């Protein structure tokens, strides 16, 4: 009988009020805890407890659209049977074969939570937006001078606002924008397979206005594509596929899917610039949003890359880990070291907690000098619960499969929240992340934990499939190792003992010259200013990805990122560490580290009755020497082809010495069968630099003119 009762308790525990908790984001559970969970209350304690005035700390504060008891539909990312899930959500967008986004009301979510076609529901998380000598320090400007200006590689760009109609994004009355999806406007038709917003083509983009109140998107795009006489974009030959998005992960993921689909249709390599972050969720790189990124940018896929910032939270106390030294739950607040204390100056804050179900919690609130204590709450018995008091509200939701909880604390006046833990797992800590609004505070008691300025990397920078950038000050001396004033303190990073070591690379992120937009969203005429943040760092790293793809479009995502790491200017320790990543971005060294390999060299053989020509298909390589070892003849070479005017009948064996423009060499051997008789008149044939035959009657003073696409081009020839 006891086993039956335990089983019934377990079933009730995981299916409260007809909802399968294992399939629901703990954030949703915490915000709807009044509908789903048990209610608890605080009791006033007679313990004397005081907090001294606290130094002001930076607080991660922004609005969240999800409200308690909200009856509005929820923006979500769902995993499961996409075709069946589409029947239950509005404005659905299929991201991958197993992930779809859309809007769903809470009652419908409860209805399908126990179905076999839903694997997990994730609430859309709030997203936030996180140049000059910088191009020189990264060697990007040197690459531009060598011709790596983005031609043939598309830019994917997504942000909350940018100004496509301003003059710097036009040349000869042609827009730099190939396509724009404005998710916020409904004046025209939405893009195919996306049920909202409007799609704008290149012609309409010339005079298409998008509000950019913060100026973030316009500023970043100007570094890439500006045609201003004062400030030229680094890869201005690239075309842009852009999305004006809402700042949440659902719409952001829709925008990423749009860019990937359109760039694949254009059949050109592309780099996605995504200067946006969020700090909310499992903090493990395993959210549905991050899973979708992995599927859209698999490490083995070719012709693509994605650059993201590490985040601007490096100077905030947003993380704490707490070990439990309790032997029994009955000990008071001051006799153990498993106490965490938080405070906040705003009306609410959100907290992510990584734990398992062996955890019990007790809460205490300090309000107007009075201390209020709760009873111990066991997560096995109460995965969802709440406290509703006159001055504050606390909602809590726990998901066993994800080992993750979410807490929301709302209050009308200055209140301090404390959390005490008890767990049977004494070796591993319980980890706390402030997702929004608060800061950790350590009162003057030895057993209380403080927050730490570490493990503050933002999502999706933790994913292996993206290249993530931290920031350094662009006025650094390139010959010095890292000093205290070299790295930008706001740059996020993970702790040294964490499984995910990021960021990958450091790029300039302070004193960045870029286009400036006024506070009213109206751009100043040819006005530029200096900016800061890891968003700008990710732009420079993304430019490096574009230049590497321009050099070799057949690089895989993994190869592309490895080149970035190999080429970095090594700093500090000389190997990867949690502070400096792999070093400072140096795209020239990255390109140089890619040696010429035989499997990358593609040849084309052309034979006539009087000669053999060997062509290189890739213009980034050139032939410096060619020997027919069958005849022992050194044959005539041009940049991209070699011509043997006296091949031997039968097999001819050639050795070609191949050189890329960075000085990397490789020798390859080519066998050519030749069966034609050599014509005695072959010596009179002349070829231009592209390898095509030229009639002598067309040659005047060593210059050959030809018509290409209606324009007259001059080509020097060798004869």
Do residue 438 and residue 462 come from a single domain? no
Do residue 150 and residue 296 come from a single domain? yes
Q: 101-115, 267-281, 466-480, 483-497: lowest mean pLDDT where?
A: 483-497
Do residue 356 and residue 411 come from a single domain? yes
**Residue 675 belongs to a domain with what CATH number?**
2.60.40.10
Do residue 446 and residue 499 come from a single domain? no
Do residue 401 and residue 520 come from a single domain? no
Do residue 372 and residue 271 come from a single domain? no
- Note whether 408 and 26 are within 8 A (CB): no
In a domain, 91, yes or no: no
In a domain, 666, yes or no: yes
- At 428, the pLDDT band (50, 70, 90 cuts) reads confident
Domain edge (last residue) among 402, 419, 452: 452
- Taking all residues of the chain, what is their mean pLDDT, rounded to a whole number? 79
**Residue 162 belongs to a domain with what CATH number?**
3.40.50.200
**Residue 326 belongs to a domain with what CATH number?**
2.60.120.1290
User: For 130-154, what is each residue's pLDDT tens digit?
Assistant: 644 566 667 777 788 778 889 999 9
User: For 106-119, what is each residue's pLDDT tens digit?
Assistant: 889 999 999 999 99
In a domain, 440, yes or no: yes
The predicted model gives 226-252 an average pLDDT of 90
Q: Say if residue 387's pLDDT is above 90.
A: yes
Do residue 474 and residue 621 come from a single domain? no
Residue 649: CB atoms within 10 A of its CB come to 11
In a domain, 85, yes or no: no
The span from the CA of 20 to the CA of 36, in Å, is 11
For residue 538, the surrounding DSSP H or E stretch is helix 534-551
Report the SS3 class of residue 325.
coil
User: For 184-216, what is each residue's pLDDT tens digit?
Assistant: 999 999 999 999 999 999 999 999 999 888 888
Do residue 617 and residue 509 come from a single domain? no
Strand order from edge to edge, sheet including 392-399:
38-40, 384-388, 392-399, 404-411, 348-354, 430-436, 319-322
Q: Provide the domain limits for residue 481.
A: 131-313+458-592
Domain edge (last residue) among 555, 574, 592: 592
Q: Say if residue 596's pLDDT is above 70.
A: no
Cα-flanking dihedrals φ and ψ of residue 405, to 5°? -125, 160
Specify the number of domains making up the chain. 4
User: For 632-689, what is each residue's pLDDT tens digit?
Assistant: 888 888 878 888 988 888 888 888 888 765 555 677 788 888 876 544 444 455 555 5
- At 3, the pLDDT band (50, 70, 90 cuts) reads very low
Do residue 701 and residue 713 come from a single domain? yes
Residue 441 makes CB contacts below 8 A (sequence gap 6+) with 51, 54, 57, 341, 342, 343, 416, 450, 451
Do residue 222 and residue 274 come from a single domain? yes
Domain edge (last residue) among 452, 483, 500: 452
Q: Say if residue 497's pLDDT is above 60.
A: no
- Rg (C-alpha) for the chain, rounded Å, is 31
In a domain, 96, yes or no: no
The span from the CA of 241 to the CA of 269, in Å, is 12
In a domain, 101, yes or no: no
In a domain, 197, yes or no: yes
Do residue 300 and residue 402 come from a single domain? no
Report the SS3 class of residue 136.
helix
In a domain, 505, yes or no: yes
User: For 537-587, what is each residue's pLDDT tens digit?
Assistant: 889 999 999 999 998 888 889 889 988 888 887 654 444 444 556 778 888
Which of 561, 372, 373, 582 has its CA nearest to residue 472? 582
Which of 48, 28, 11, 31 has its CA nearest to residue 445? 48
Q: Say if residue 84's pLDDT is above 80.
A: yes
DSSP H helices, 60-189, are: 82-85, 106-112, 133-137, 140-145
Tell me which residue has tokens 């100077």: 315
Residue 325 makes CB contacts below 8 A (sequence gap 6+) with 336, 337, 338, 426
Do residue 219 and residue 163 come from a single domain? yes
């Amino acid at each position: 009988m006891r086993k039956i009762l335990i089983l019934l308790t377990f079933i009730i525990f995981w299916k409260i009020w007809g909802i399968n908790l294992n399939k629901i984001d703990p954030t949703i559970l915490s915000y709807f805890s009044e509908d789903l969970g048990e209610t608890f209350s605080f009791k006033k304690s007679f313990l004397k407890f005081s907090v001294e005035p606290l130094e002001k700390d930076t607080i991660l504060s922004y609005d969240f659209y999800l409200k308690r008891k909200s009856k509005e539909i929820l923006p979500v990312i769902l995993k499961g049977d996409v075709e069946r899930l589409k029947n239950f959500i509005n404005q659905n967008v299929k991201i991958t074969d197993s992930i779809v986004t859309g809007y769903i009301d809470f009652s419908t979510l409860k209805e399908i939570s126990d179905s076999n076609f839903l694997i997990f529901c994730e609430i859309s998380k709030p997203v936030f937006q996180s140049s000059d000598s910088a191009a020189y320090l990264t060697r990007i400007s040197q690459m531009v001078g060598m011709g790596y200006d983005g031609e043939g590689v598309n830019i994917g760009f997504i942000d909350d606002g940018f100004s496509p109609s301003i003059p710097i994004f036009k040349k000869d009355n042609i827009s730099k924008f190939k396509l724009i999806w404005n998710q916020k406007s409904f004046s025209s038709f939405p893009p195919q397979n996306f049920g909202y917003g409007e799609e704008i083509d290149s012609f309409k983009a010339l005079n298409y206005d998008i509000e950019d109140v913060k100026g973030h998107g316009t500023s970043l795009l100007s570094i890439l594509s500006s045609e201003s006489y004062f400030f030229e974009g680094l890869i201005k030959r690239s075309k842009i596929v852009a999305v004006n998005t809402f700042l949440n992960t659902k719409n952001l993921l829709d925008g990423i899917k749009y860019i990937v689909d359109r760039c694949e249709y254009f059949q050109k390599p592309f780099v996605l610039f995504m200067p946006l972050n969020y700090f909310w969720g499992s903090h493990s790189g395993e959210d549905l949003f991050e899973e979708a990124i992995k599927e859209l940018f698999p490490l083995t896929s070719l012709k693509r890359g994605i650059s993201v910032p590490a985040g601007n939270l490096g100077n905030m106390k947003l993380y704490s880990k707490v070990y439990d030294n309790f032997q029994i739950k009955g000990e008071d607040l001051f006799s153990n070291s498993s106490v965490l204390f938080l405070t906040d100056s705003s009306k609410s804050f959100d907290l992510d907690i990584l734990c398992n179900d062996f955890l019990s919690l007790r809460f205490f609130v300090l309000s107007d000098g009075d201390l209020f204590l709760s009873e111990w709450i066991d997560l096995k018995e109460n995965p969802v619960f709440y406290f509703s008091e006159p001055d504050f509200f606390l909602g809590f939701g726990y998901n066993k499969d994800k080992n993750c909880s979410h807490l929301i604390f709302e209050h009308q006046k200055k209140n301090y929240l404390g959390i005490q833990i008890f767990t049977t797992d004494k070796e591993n800590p319980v980890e706390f992340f402030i997702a929004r609004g608060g800061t950790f505070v350590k009162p003057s008691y030895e057993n209380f934990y403080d927050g730490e300025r570490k493990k503050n990397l933002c999502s999706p920078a933790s994913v292996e499939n993206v290249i993530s950038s931290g920031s350094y000050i662009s006025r650094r001396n390139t010959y010095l190792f890292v000093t205290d004033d070299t790295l930008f303190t706001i740059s996020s990073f993970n702790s040294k003992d964490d499984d995910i070591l990021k960021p990958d690379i450091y790029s300039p992120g302070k004193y960045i010259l870029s286009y400036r937009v006024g506070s009213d969203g109206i751009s100043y005429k040819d006005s530029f200013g200096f900016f800061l943040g890891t968003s700008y760092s990710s732009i420079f790293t993304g430019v490096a990805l574009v230049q590497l793809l321009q050099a070799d479009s057949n690089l895989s995502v993994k190869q592309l990122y490895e080149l970035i790491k190999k080429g970095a200017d090594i700093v500090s320790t000389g190997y990867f560490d949690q502070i400096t990543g792999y070093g400072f971005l140096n795209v020239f060294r990255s390109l140089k580290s890619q040696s010429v390999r035989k499997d990358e060299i593609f040849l084309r053989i052309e034979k006539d009755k009087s000669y053999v020509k060997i062509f290189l298909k890739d213009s980034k390589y050139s032939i410096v020497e060619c020997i027919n070892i069958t005849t022992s003849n050194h044959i005539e070479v041009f940049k991209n082809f070699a011509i043997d005017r006296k091949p031997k009948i039968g097999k001819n064996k050639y050795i070609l010495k191949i050189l890329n423009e960075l000085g990397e060499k490789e020798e390859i051997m080519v066998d050519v069968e030749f069966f034609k008789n050599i014509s005695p008149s072959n010596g009179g044939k002349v070829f231009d630099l592209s390898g095509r035959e030229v009639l002598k009657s067309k040659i005047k003073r060593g210059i050959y003119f030809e018509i290409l696409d209606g324009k007259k081009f001059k080509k020097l020839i060798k004869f």
